[in-house]
Structure 1
Amino acid sequence: MLLEFEGSNNEPAKLSELEINIFILEIFLAGSETTTSSIEWAFSELLHNPETMVKDTNLVGYFIPKNTQVFVNVWAIGREEECWEEPLCFKPERFLGSKIEYNGQHFEFIPFGAGRRICPDLPLGHRMMHFALGSLLHEFDWEYDFSTNPNPIDTNDKIGLVV
């Protein structure tokens, strides 16, 4: 679509090559900025409520004591007979039927747009956010240093616009 603005034959260009490059760059930056902002917001909430990172928890009926290292057995999940038809056969297409729908019908994804104007990288952004947040939480001990700034983190919403 942007190439139509470049002009053809003797017609003058409606947009310069620099302007087209700027538009393309903005598309990439907009996609990465939303993931970064979401991770920053998640960390501000976790630092505001640090006890949630270090307490005992109960997950699907299993008691998990604090300081427990949890590993997901992906090998076993991929071979679960109750979930997959012919689990020992190589069928990568079985993963195409995800239960998460990114078509703009679920309100939790509305910030990513809806219908024809939905963000094309929504599935990637969703996965990257979980991967980055999980990796950072796993590798580092996070805490807020009240000695340098005794005021708690301001997590009040503010009206803003992202274009």
Structure 2
Amino acid sequence: AQLCDVAVWAPNHKLTWPWVFCEVRGAARKQLGDTCADVMVAQNEPSPRVQKTRGKFERAPVVLVVGSESGDTDLRTAENRDAVSAAVQNILLGATALGLASFWSSCPTGANDSVARFCGFAGDTTIVAMIYLGWPTDVPKGFERPAPRITQRT
């Protein structure tokens, strides 16, 4: 809940408050994996990928699923998703500030509607993030990133 409180400070054009959250713990993590894996089976995904998906959410004590509600226009829906992405960044920064490890994962291809139903979200919700949260087992090594591309006009 503390990280969701941080999330809602994200910029939000037109104040639509489009984010929805589902905290997945305990046995529900396996159910979430099964929900995603069942979609993968229906899509004829390779068995090793399906089996990996069934158990992958159990790697962290908490998985926070973050969704974006659709807007009344395509533009508003896009703006809502942008706001939710900013909210996810706030969650990741908040987790780091609390000493937690975090990892932003996307929803498996084709599983959006099934995951939204699992979470109890409205049918038109887009899953923006499935965030793994837990205590770090080691300190991740930083790495060089490319310089930002900046253009200037005067």
TM class by smaller structure = under 0.3
TM-score by length of 2: 0.24
Higher relative contact order (CA 8 A, sep 6+): 2
TM-score by length of 1: 0.23
